[in-house]
Chains A and B, each alone.
Chain A
Protein backbone atom coordinates (compact mmCIF):
# COMPACT_ATOMS: atom_id res chain seq x y z
CA UNK A 1 0.00 0.00 0.00
CA UNK A 2 1.49 3.29 -1.12
CA UNK A 3 2.05 5.90 1.59
CA UNK A 4 3.20 9.50 1.32
CA UNK A 5 4.95 11.56 3.98
CA UNK A 6 5.72 15.27 3.84
CA UNK A 7 8.78 16.68 5.58
CA UNK A 8 10.38 20.08 5.97
CA UNK A 9 10.51 23.17 8.17
CA UNK A 10 7.31 24.21 9.89
CA UNK A 11 8.34 27.86 10.08
CA UNK A 12 9.64 30.01 7.24
CA UNK A 13 10.48 33.72 7.33
CA UNK A 14 8.80 36.16 4.94
CA UNK A 15 10.61 36.60 1.60
CA UNK A 16 12.46 33.28 2.05
CA UNK A 17 11.93 30.00 0.19
CA UNK A 18 9.64 27.26 1.49
CA UNK A 19 11.06 23.79 0.83
CA UNK A 20 9.21 20.53 1.37
CA UNK A 21 9.88 16.92 0.42
CA UNK A 22 7.40 14.09 -0.07
CA UNK A 23 8.67 10.54 0.40
CA UNK A 24 6.78 7.79 -1.37
CA UNK A 25 6.88 4.36 0.27
CA UNK A 26 5.31 1.05 -0.70
CA UNK A 27 5.34 1.75 -4.41
CA UNK A 28 7.14 3.36 -7.32
CA UNK A 29 6.98 6.90 -8.63
CA UNK A 30 6.70 5.55 -12.17
CA UNK A 31 3.48 5.97 -14.10
CA UNK A 32 1.82 8.68 -12.04
CA UNK A 33 1.44 12.40 -11.53
CA UNK A 34 2.63 13.69 -8.16
CA UNK A 35 1.07 16.87 -6.80
CA UNK A 36 1.42 19.43 -4.08
CA UNK A 37 -1.84 20.81 -2.70
CA UNK A 38 -2.24 23.33 0.10
CA UNK A 39 -5.00 24.47 2.44
CA UNK A 40 -4.79 27.80 4.31
CA UNK A 41 -6.32 27.69 7.79
CA UNK A 42 -10.11 27.60 7.52
CA UNK A 43 -10.08 27.66 3.71
CA UNK A 44 -10.39 25.25 0.81
CA UNK A 45 -7.93 23.15 -1.16
CA UNK A 46 -5.59 24.82 -3.65
CA UNK A 47 -3.59 22.85 -6.18
CA UNK A 48 0.01 24.09 -6.41
CA UNK A 49 1.39 21.93 -9.19
CA UNK A 50 2.38 18.47 -10.32
CA UNK A 51 5.33 16.59 -11.69
CA UNK A 52 4.86 13.59 -13.95
CA UNK A 53 7.16 10.62 -13.42
CA UNK A 54 8.90 11.57 -16.67
CA UNK A 55 9.88 14.90 -15.09
CA UNK A 56 7.44 17.19 -16.89
CA UNK A 57 5.72 19.74 -14.68
CA UNK A 58 2.69 21.98 -14.60
CA UNK A 59 1.86 24.66 -12.08
CA UNK A 60 -1.10 26.68 -10.87
CA UNK A 61 -0.96 29.85 -12.98
CA UNK A 62 -1.44 31.98 -9.85
CA UNK A 63 1.74 30.53 -8.29
CA UNK A 64 3.76 29.63 -11.35
CA UNK A 65 6.36 32.39 -11.02
CA UNK A 66 7.33 31.20 -7.52
CA UNK A 67 7.02 27.41 -7.72
CA UNK A 68 9.43 24.65 -8.62
CA UNK A 69 8.60 20.95 -8.25
CA UNK A 70 11.34 18.40 -8.79
CA UNK A 71 11.76 14.64 -8.68
CA UNK A 72 14.42 12.42 -7.16
CA UNK A 73 13.44 9.03 -8.52
CA UNK A 74 16.33 7.16 -6.90
CA UNK A 75 15.06 8.22 -3.49
CA UNK A 76 11.37 7.88 -4.38
CA UNK A 77 10.89 11.52 -3.46
CA UNK A 78 9.57 14.69 -4.99
CA UNK A 79 10.01 18.20 -3.68
CA UNK A 80 8.40 21.62 -3.61
CA UNK A 81 10.11 25.00 -3.53
CA UNK A 82 8.01 28.14 -3.15
CA UNK A 83 9.99 31.36 -3.22
CA UNK A 84 9.35 34.82 -1.81
CA UNK A 85 6.79 33.60 0.70
CA UNK A 86 4.40 35.85 2.60
CA UNK A 87 1.90 35.25 5.38
CA UNK A 88 -0.63 34.30 2.67
CA UNK A 89 1.42 31.16 2.04
CA UNK A 90 0.74 29.88 5.56
CA UNK A 91 -1.11 26.62 5.04
CA UNK A 92 -1.18 22.89 5.51
CA UNK A 93 0.75 21.46 2.57
CA UNK A 94 -0.21 18.04 1.24
CA UNK A 95 1.48 15.81 -1.28
CA UNK A 96 -0.70 13.39 -3.22
CA UNK A 97 -0.60 10.90 -6.08
CA UNK A 98 -2.88 11.60 -9.01
CA UNK A 99 -4.30 9.02 -11.36
CA UNK A 100 -5.88 9.95 -14.65
CA UNK A 101 -8.11 7.92 -16.93
CA UNK A 102 -9.92 8.23 -20.23
CA UNK A 103 -13.20 6.37 -20.56
CA UNK A 104 -13.56 5.67 -24.26
CA UNK A 105 -17.14 4.43 -23.83
CA UNK A 106 -18.27 7.89 -22.74
CA UNK A 107 -15.47 10.10 -24.02
CA UNK A 108 -14.96 11.41 -20.50
CA UNK A 109 -11.76 11.82 -18.56
CA UNK A 110 -11.28 11.49 -14.81
CA UNK A 111 -8.53 12.38 -12.41
CA UNK A 112 -8.34 11.69 -8.71
CA UNK A 113 -5.94 11.97 -5.80
CA UNK A 114 -5.23 8.89 -3.73
CA UNK A 115 -3.32 8.50 -1.48
CA UNK A 116 -2.57 11.76 0.29
CA UNK A 117 0.12 12.53 2.81
CA UNK A 118 -0.98 13.51 6.29
CA UNK A 119 -0.12 17.14 5.58
CA UNK A 120 2.35 19.49 7.21
CA UNK A 121 1.61 22.96 8.54
CA UNK A 122 3.96 25.64 7.29
CA UNK A 123 3.75 29.01 8.98
CA UNK A 124 5.29 32.08 7.40
CA UNK A 125 6.32 34.48 10.14
CA UNK A 126 9.33 36.44 11.25
Chain B
Protein backbone atom coordinates (compact mmCIF):
# COMPACT_ATOMS: atom_id res chain seq x y z
CA UNK B 1 0.00 0.00 0.00
CA UNK B 2 1.18 3.53 -0.68
CA UNK B 3 -0.95 5.62 1.67
CA UNK B 4 -0.72 6.89 5.21
CA UNK B 5 -3.90 8.40 6.66
CA UNK B 6 -3.98 11.06 9.36
CA UNK B 7 -6.83 13.04 10.89
CA UNK B 8 -6.69 16.56 9.40
CA UNK B 9 -7.07 18.36 12.72
CA UNK B 10 -6.86 17.63 16.43
CA UNK B 11 -7.13 19.92 19.44
CA UNK B 12 -5.94 19.59 23.02
CA UNK B 13 -6.25 21.69 26.14
CA UNK B 14 -3.04 23.15 27.49
CA UNK B 15 -1.28 20.63 29.72
CA UNK B 16 -3.40 17.69 28.62
CA UNK B 17 -2.42 14.62 26.62
CA UNK B 18 -3.10 14.23 22.93
CA UNK B 19 -2.61 11.32 20.54
CA UNK B 20 -2.13 11.81 16.82
CA UNK B 21 -2.58 8.71 14.70
CA UNK B 22 -1.33 7.48 11.34
CA UNK B 23 -2.80 4.46 9.56
CA UNK B 24 -1.48 2.43 6.66
CA UNK B 25 -0.65 -1.08 5.55
CA UNK B 26 3.08 -0.29 5.45
CA UNK B 27 3.00 0.27 9.21
CA UNK B 28 2.70 -3.47 9.73
CA UNK B 29 6.38 -3.60 8.74
CA UNK B 30 7.60 -0.05 9.32
CA UNK B 31 7.81 2.08 12.40
CA UNK B 32 6.49 5.51 11.45
CA UNK B 33 8.66 8.55 11.84
CA UNK B 34 7.06 11.82 12.96
CA UNK B 35 7.80 15.42 12.05
CA UNK B 36 6.66 18.72 13.53
CA UNK B 37 6.30 21.67 11.17
CA UNK B 38 5.60 25.23 12.25
CA UNK B 39 4.54 27.93 9.77
CA UNK B 40 7.33 29.02 7.45
CA UNK B 41 9.76 26.42 8.79
CA UNK B 42 11.15 23.12 7.55
CA UNK B 43 9.84 19.95 9.20
CA UNK B 44 11.68 18.78 12.31
CA UNK B 45 12.04 15.12 13.21
CA UNK B 46 10.50 14.41 16.62
CA UNK B 47 10.19 10.59 16.73
CA UNK B 48 11.93 7.81 14.83
CA UNK B 49 12.31 4.07 15.23
CA UNK B 50 10.28 2.22 17.82
CA UNK B 51 10.21 5.28 20.11
CA UNK B 52 13.34 7.38 19.78
CA UNK B 53 13.67 11.13 20.19
CA UNK B 54 16.44 13.14 18.51
CA UNK B 55 18.56 15.30 20.72
CA UNK B 56 16.68 18.40 21.83
CA UNK B 57 13.18 16.96 21.50
CA UNK B 58 11.31 17.10 24.84
CA UNK B 59 10.42 13.82 26.50
CA UNK B 60 6.72 14.71 26.42
CA UNK B 61 6.83 13.40 22.82
CA UNK B 62 6.55 9.63 22.44
CA UNK B 63 5.70 7.13 19.73
CA UNK B 64 3.98 3.76 19.63
CA UNK B 65 2.71 1.27 17.11
CA UNK B 66 0.02 -1.41 16.91
CA UNK B 67 -0.98 -3.30 13.81
CA UNK B 68 -1.41 -0.84 10.97
CA UNK B 69 -1.57 2.21 13.23
CA UNK B 70 1.22 4.41 14.57
CA UNK B 71 0.64 7.04 17.21
CA UNK B 72 2.43 10.16 18.35
CA UNK B 73 1.56 11.10 21.92
CA UNK B 74 2.24 14.46 23.52
CA UNK B 75 1.91 14.20 27.29
CA UNK B 76 1.28 17.62 28.80
CA UNK B 77 0.91 19.63 25.59
CA UNK B 78 2.46 23.08 25.58
CA UNK B 79 1.51 26.13 23.57
CA UNK B 80 4.68 25.74 21.50
CA UNK B 81 3.52 22.28 20.38
CA UNK B 82 0.87 23.88 18.18
CA UNK B 83 1.98 22.86 14.69
CA UNK B 84 1.37 20.48 11.81
CA UNK B 85 2.50 16.90 12.38
CA UNK B 86 3.38 14.44 9.62
CA UNK B 87 4.08 10.73 9.72
CA UNK B 88 6.19 8.92 7.17
CA UNK B 89 7.44 5.48 6.21
CA UNK B 90 8.42 3.60 3.09
CA UNK B 91 5.65 1.82 1.19
CA UNK B 92 5.19 -1.94 1.45
CA UNK B 93 7.66 -2.54 -1.39
CA UNK B 94 10.28 -0.56 0.50
CA UNK B 95 11.13 1.37 -2.65
CA UNK B 96 9.10 4.54 -2.25
CA UNK B 97 8.73 7.07 0.53
CA UNK B 98 5.26 8.01 1.71
CA UNK B 99 3.96 10.79 3.95
CA UNK B 100 0.68 11.12 5.75
CA UNK B 101 -1.49 14.10 4.85
CA UNK B 102 -0.65 15.85 8.10
CA UNK B 103 -2.53 16.72 11.29
CA UNK B 104 -2.96 20.29 12.44
CA UNK B 105 -2.66 20.37 16.23
CA UNK B 106 -4.32 23.23 18.07
CA UNK B 107 -3.47 23.81 21.74
CA UNK B 108 -6.41 25.49 23.46
Question: DSSP class of A's interface residues: helix, strand, loop or mixed?
Answer: strand
Q: A34 to chain B: closest CB distance in Å?
A: 12
Q: B77 to chain A: closest CB distance in Å?
A: 22
- Beyond A47-B96, A109-B29, whether A114 also contacts B54 by CB under 8 A is yes
Kindly identify which residue among B29, B31, B43, B96 contacts A45, using a CB–CB cutoff of 8 Å.
B43
Whether B42 contacts A111 by the Cβ 8 Å rule is no
Q: Which residues of A contact B102 (CB under 8 A)?
A: 44-45
Question: DSSP class of B's interface residues: helix, strand, loop or mixed?
Answer: strand
B residues contacting A by CB (< 8 A) are 29-31, 33, 35, 42-45, 48-50, 54, 65, 86, 88-90, 94-102
A residues contacting B by CB (< 8 A) are 35, 37, 44-47, 50, 58, 60-61, 94, 98, 100-101, 103, 106-114, 116-119
